[in-house]
Amino acid sequence: MTMKTETSPGRTVAIVEDEAMIAMLLGEMLRREGYEIVCQAATPDEAVSCIRALHPEIILMDVNLGTEKDGIDAAMEIRNFSDASIIFITAYSDESTTHRAAPVGPKAFLTKPIRRTQLLETLKTGLA
């Protein structure tokens, strides 16, 4: 888990992704566009901890985090203390996943592989 201790006002993002290369690429794309990555986590528990501490405006949350608890479970827990915009990232956009995630109130679902233009447009929507 990577955490930044100070956040500046503006477009702050948490990246929750268990695949290190994908997390790194997302972070690089967003930094180039002026977003501030306030935390990066690979597990649901790390995500809850850093989001609770740093209050990002947007959360990019991978659905499948390679643990028994997944990104939807983490997002449900995060909803108890945060109203951040949640954008789910998934390799599979199926009806059962979107139905299960509905109570969280996600702003969008991004399907892997993620294209830069798709990511940026979705983030603009997430901040609106």
Instruction: Report DSSP state, residue 9.
Output: S
Per-residue pLDDT of the chain (128 residues), as tens digits, is 554 444 444 589 999 999 999 999 999 999 999 999 999 999 999 999 999 999 999 999 999 998 899 999 999 999 999 999 999 999 877 889 999 999 999 999 999 999 999 999 988 775 65
Residue 11 CA from chain centroid, whole number:
13
Domain 2-119 indexed as CATH 3.40.50.2300: yes
Quote the CA–CA distance of 53 and 50 in Å, as a whole number. Answer: 5
Quote the CA–CA distance of 39 and 51 in Å, as a whole number. Answer: 7
What DSSP letter does each residue of 53-70 carry, written as one string? Answer: HH--SEEEEES--SSSS-
Collapse the DSSP code of 49 into the 3-class scheme (helix H, G, I; strand E, B; otherwise coil) and give the result: helix
Identity (one letter) of the amino acid at 94? D
In this predicted model, what pLDDT tens digit does every residue of 116-125 receive, in sequence order? 999 999 887 7
